[in-house]
Amino acid sequence: MEMMELPDAEQLLANLADQLRPDINEATALVGIYTGGVWLAERLHESLNILLPVGSLDVSFYRDDFSQIGLHPQVKPSDIQFGVEGSHIILVDDVLFTGRTIRAAINELFDYGRPASIRLATLVDRGGRELPVAAQYIAATLALPPDKMLALNKSTEGKLSLSLYDRAPRDNDA
């Protein structure tokens, strides 16, 4: 699998921006999910000239695997600076896999208020869903074996790239 050709994250991001552009208006808010989703949301926020401030979510407090794996040692504070009540939110995550993270993120968003709508944008849909979750905006679809983990990285210059790891035994990400 090491030899597998991974798509260029920067190209995927541009693709994702193109998909989103027609649907953006003054009521659109982007919310990224830590960590990769926040990087993407910030870049999209910039390139799409979105008015409402970009939000970030750390779903650690909402995860359903908390009792098995405990609290992530570096929980980041969630930060939503716009009124969630009645807003049109596009959730941004790097990789869509089981759907559990998205479930947790939607739950958390509702604790800030009742949005008018939530859509989901993702760089890569790798399949393997365990919950009925679907993304409206997908830059790429990849079929990956379940023991591999796909991650988004950011270089010191801010360049985004994808990489593939062996999954840690108890990790239950994406």
Partner 1 sequence: MTGLLGTMTHNPQLNRNGRLQHLLTTEGLPAPVLLNILDTAESFMGVTERDVKKVPLLRGKSVFNLFFEPSTRTRTTFEIAAKRLSADVVNLNIAASSQSKGETLLDTVDNLSAMHADMFVVRHSQSGAPHLIARHVRPEIHVINAGDGRHAHPTQALLDMFTIRRYKRDFHTLRVAIVGDILHSRVARSQIHALTTLGVPEVRVIAPKTLLPAKVERLGVRVFHEMAQGLKDIDVLMMLRLQQERMLNARLPSTEEYFKYYGLTPEKLALAKSGAIVLHPGPMNRGVEIDSAVADGSQSVILPQVTFGIAVRMAVMSILTGT
Q: For residues 120 and 1, give the distance between their C-alpha atoms in angstroms, rounded to a whole number.
A: 29
Residue from the set 10, 19, 70, 130 that interacts with partner 1 by CB under 8 A: 70
Residue from the set 9, 39, 40, 78 that interacts with partner 1 by CB under 8 A: 78
Q: For residues 127 and 4, give the distance between their C-alpha atoms in angstroms, rounded to a whole number.
A: 17
Of the two residues 60 and 122, which places its CB atom closer to partner 1 in the complex? 60
Asked if residue 61 binds partner 1 (CB under 8 A), the reply is yes
| Token pair for 2 | 């090491």
Residue from the set 76, 131, 141, 168 that interacts with partner 1 by CB under 8 A: 76
Which amino acid belongs to residue 137?
Y
| Token pair for 55 | 């939000």
Asked if residue 131 binds partner 1 (CB under 8 A), the reply is no
Q: For the residues of 29-72, what is the DSSP string, one character each?
A: EEEEETTHHHHHHHHHHHHTT-SSPPEEE-GGGG-TTHHHH---
- Phi, psi of 34, rounded to the nearest 5 degrees: -55, 140
Of the ranges 37-45, 106-114, 121-129, 157-165, which one interacts with partner 1 (CB under 8 A)? 106-114
Shortest reach from residue 79's CB to partner 1, in Å: 7
| Token pair for 138 | 């997908």
Compute, in degrees rounded to 10, the torsion defined by CA atoms 126, 129, 132, 134: 0
| Token pair for 151 | 């991650």
Of the ranges 46-54, 57-65, 124-132, 163-171, which one interacts with partner 1 (CB under 8 A)? 57-65
Inter-residue contact 154 to 39 (CB < 8 Å):
yes
Asked if residue 86 binds partner 1 (CB under 8 A), the reply is no
Residues in contact with partner 1, shown as a per-residue x/- string from 30 to 49 under the rule CB under 8 A? --------------------
Of the ranges 45-53, 68-76, 135-143, 166-174, which one interacts with partner 1 (CB under 8 A)? 68-76
Strand partners, 76: none
Asked if residue 87 binds partner 1 (CB under 8 A), the reply is no
Residues lying near partner 1 in the complex (CB under 8 A) are found at 58, 60-62, 66-67, 69-71, 73-79, 107-108, 110-113
